[in-house]
Amino acid sequence: MSYSFLLIRFVDGEVAPMDRERFREVAGPYAVGGWPADGEGAVDLRAEDGGAADVYFSAAPGDLEFVTFTHLQFGAMVDVFARLAEALGAAIVPQDGRALIFHEDRRRHLPAVLRQEARVVAPTGPAVSAGLEED
C-alpha cells in the first residue's frame, strides 16, 4: 500500500512522547542496512515474509515525537507494525480513515477529532489489516 500511517501516542488529547529505546528494541531486528547513527531519521524495515515498510521518525531528546510508516505491505510487516504500536502505547492514525486503538480505555486520550470514529482492534497483524481495510 502506498499511503502513510502515523503512530502517535496521545495523553489527554495531546501528543505525548514515546519511548525511543522501546521503538528501537521492537523495530531494530527488522532494520535493513542498520540503524541511523544519530537515532533519528529513516529506516527501511523488512519482515520475514519479505514484506517491507519505509519508516520515518523524529525525536526530542530521549523520546520519539512521531513514527510514520509508508509503503507498508500487508502480511508479516503488519504484525511488526501492530507490535510496535502496542509497545509504544500508540494509536494508528491513517492519512485518511479512522484511527485504530487497541483498548477502549485509550479512546479518552485521543483528540476530540479522532475520538468518536476511532475503532478498537486487537493488537495483531490480521486485526490491524482488517481495521485499515474497512475504510
For range 111-117, the mean pLDDT? 95
In this prediction the pTM is 0.90
Concatenating the DSSP letter of every residue in 64-119 gives EEEEEEESPPSSHHHHHHHHHHHHHTPEEEESSS--EESSGGGGGGS-HHHHTT-E
Q: How many CB atoms lie within 10 A of CB 48?
A: 12
- Residues 57/23, Cβ–Cβ less than 8 Å: yes
Give the model's confidence band at 40: pLDDT under 50 very low, under 70 low, under 90 confident, else very high: low
Whether pLDDT at 2 is above 80: no
Give the model's confidence band at 112: pLDDT under 50 very low, under 70 low, under 90 confident, else very high: very high
Whether pLDDT at 90 is above 60: yes
Q: Report how far residue 97's alpha carbon sits from residue 43's, in angstroms, rounded to the nearest whole number.
A: 25
Q: Report how far residue 106's alpha carbon sits from residue 12's, in angstroms, rounded to the nearest whole number.
A: 10
Cell of 5: 500511517
Report the alpha-carbon angle 88-49-120, nearest 5: 35
Give the model's confidence band at 128: pLDDT under 50 very low, under 70 low, under 90 confident, else very high: very high
pLDDT tens-place string over residues 49-66: 999 999 998 765 667 888
Q: Report how far residue 6's alpha carbon sits from residue 125's, in angstroms, rounded to the nearest whole number.
A: 16
For range 21-43, the mean pLDDT? 84
